[in-house]
Amino acid sequence: MLLVFGIVPTCNQDDELFQFTSMDGSPSMFKIITCLIVFFFIAALVFIIRQKRLDLTSQSAQISAQIARKRQILWDQQTKIAAETNPQTLLLKLRTQRAASATTQAAAKHGGIMIYATPVFKGY
């Protein structure tokens, strides 16, 4: 295969490593081209990994924002529940319901006619 490109592997007697030379004996560009191809391949992989990291960072920020919004909604709901289940508020609601119940029962006794007392303000 290397012979097709005009490169012949030769064995150096000093270090016994293969050195690639062209058919005329001059040093070939095979090592440089191989290094460039490997460099571009590694650069492409690094770029892909960097892009994935940026995508994951963006998704993480979006999820964190969603969690913060959900926590705020939950906090608001807990505050409303606490305000409505406050003992003083519950007592006031029970008194209001008893008063409304008593008024409804009194109206039923008088034939369904409800009489509302309007407060009179003096000094106007």
Domain boundaries along the sequence of the chain: 7-90
As a whole number of angstroms, the distance between CA 29 and CA 2 comes to 12
In the chain, the percentage of residues whose pLDDT exceeds 70 is 62
Q: Is 111 a residue whose pLDDT tops 70?
A: no
Quote the mean pLDDT of the chain: 77
Q: Is 75 or 25 the better-scoring residue by pLDDT?
A: 75
Give the pLDDT of residue 27.
59
Contact 20, 28 (CB under 8 A): yes
Q: Write out pLDDT tens, residues 91-107.
A: 888 888 888 777 777 66
Q: Write out pLDDT tens, residues 20-63.
A: 555 665 557 788 888 999 999 999 999 999 999 999 999 999 99
As a whole number of angstroms, the distance between CA 33 and CA 8 comes to 16
Model confidence pTM above 0.75: no
- The region, left, alpha or beta by phi > 0 then psi within -120 to 50, assigned to residue 25 is left
